[in-house]
Amino acid sequence: MTMDSPIPLAIVGVGKIARDQHLPSISRTPAFALRAAVSRNAEVDGVQNFTDIEACLAARPDVKAVALCLPPEPRFAAAITALEAGCHVLLEKPPGATLGETDVLADLAREKGVTIFATWHSRFAPAVQPAKAFLADRAIRKVTITWREDVRRWHPGQGWVWEPAGFGVFDPGINALSILTEILPDEALLRAARLEVPENAATPIGVTMTMGIAGGGYEIDADFDWRQEGPQTWEIAAETDGGLMSLTGGGKTMAVDGKVVSDEPEAEYDGIYKRFADLIEAGESDMDMRPLRLVADACLLGRRVAVEPFHE
């Protein structure tokens, strides 16, 4: 299909990530025009607001695309509703509470002939593609991920992150895994994991993962932690025959042996909406589940260790 005019879009879930990232990027993307918002306790100025997606789509049949910014657990039902109505669907990460859910959504989108896009916003950080190009023809010796941040700063008052399907520290950790699976020339496979779960929570506050690649080769170590105060750390380092490649700032800056080779302004969510528009125009979908599969494998294979209760 060819888009001659902006696609009418509704945003579902008007929380911090929607206001900080989605709404500004939608306003900057000519391919979309925001027409409605859905939230139980918030509104977006300048558009029609609803408290549930069913009412929104019934009242606004002009809406042809939906951006789902809900937590993972309720997102599945909203996605089914949107797909059944013939809407293109953008899924905030993680794309589902289970791999089974994402399979169902991909199949339904195919059946309805619409686009579904599982977004991994960190893949659109400016230094990710330069890092991928650098590693493509290098011998990799070891990869280390350090993703440590303060949950109180980034998820204040959001108790759902500690409940089943809330993902715990995997909520940010999956960002690192989305970059890893994008830049590596090989498929990462989980070998072992340790999940530190507060006594009053169902999801981990700290995780270590050991990964490798099929047939051996090199090791990949990951350290995710939600207890870091002060400066936050989002780093991936790869030891190669061409030097030590490091991605810092969540993929914003790339350096080789300490020399910065890529450092551009962050525009992750602008990239997401451009990609969504391109997929719709091409009549395609993008449901890469490799980051979610690594999280699922860690939960299957990992050793759970109880740690002290978490109190905000």
Question: Is the predicted pLDDT of residue 249 greater than 70, yes or no?
Answer: yes
State pTM to two decimals. 0.94
- H/E run at residue 129: helix 128-136
Sheet strands side by side (includes 253-256): 259-263, 253-256, 243-248, 233-240, 140-148, 219-225, 206-213, 188-198, 303-307
In the listed set 72, 98, 118, which residue is the last one of a domain according to the structure?
A: 118
pLDDT score, position 3: 60
What is the domain extent for residue 90?
7-118
Question: For 122-136, what is the mean pLDDT?
Answer: 97
pLDDT score, position 72: 85
User: Residue 93 catalytic?
Assistant: yes
Q: How far, in Å, CA of 310 to CA of 312, rounded? A: 7
Place of tokens 């408290």: 51
Per the domain annotation, does 176 fall within a domain? Answer: yes
Same domain? For 163 and 261 the reply is yes
Per the domain annotation, does 2 fall within a domain? Answer: no
Same domain? For 164 and 180 the reply is yes
Catalytic residue among 64, 93, 252, 259: 93
Q: What is the pLDDT of residues 186-222, one digit of tens each?
A: 999 999 999 999 999 999 999 999 999 988 889 999 9
Per the domain annotation, does 273 fall within a domain? Answer: no
Per the domain annotation, does 186 fall within a domain? Answer: yes
Same domain? For 132 and 258 the reply is yes
Same domain? For 204 and 149 the reply is yes
Question: For 119-133, what is the mean pLDDT?
Answer: 97
Same domain? For 103 and 149 the reply is no
Same domain? For 102 and 35 the reply is yes
- H/E run at residue 48: strand 48-50
Same domain? For 172 and 88 the reply is no
Per the domain annotation, does 1 fall within a domain? Answer: no
Per the domain annotation, does 279 fall within a domain? Answer: no
Question: For 144-152, what is the mean pLDDT?
Answer: 97
In the listed set 64, 96, 118, which residue is the last one of a domain according to the structure?
A: 118
Same domain? For 255 and 206 the reply is yes
Per the domain annotation, does 207 fall within a domain? Answer: yes
- Count of structural domains within the chain: 2
Q: What is the pLDDT of residues 176-194, one digit of tens each?
A: 999 999 999 999 999 999 9
Same domain? For 82 and 163 the reply is no
What CATH number has the domain bearing residue 108?
A: 3.40.50.720
Same domain? For 261 and 128 the reply is yes
Q: What is the pLDDT of residues 25-67, one digit of tens each?
A: 999 999 999 999 999 999 999 999 999 999 999 999 999 999 9
φ, ψ of residue 192 to 5 degrees: the values are -160, 160
For every residue of 259-309, DSSP letters joined together read EEEEE----HHHHHHHHHHHHHHHT--B---HHHHHHHHHHHHPEEEEEPP
Of the CA atoms within 13 Å of residue 297, those in its CB half-sphere come to: 17
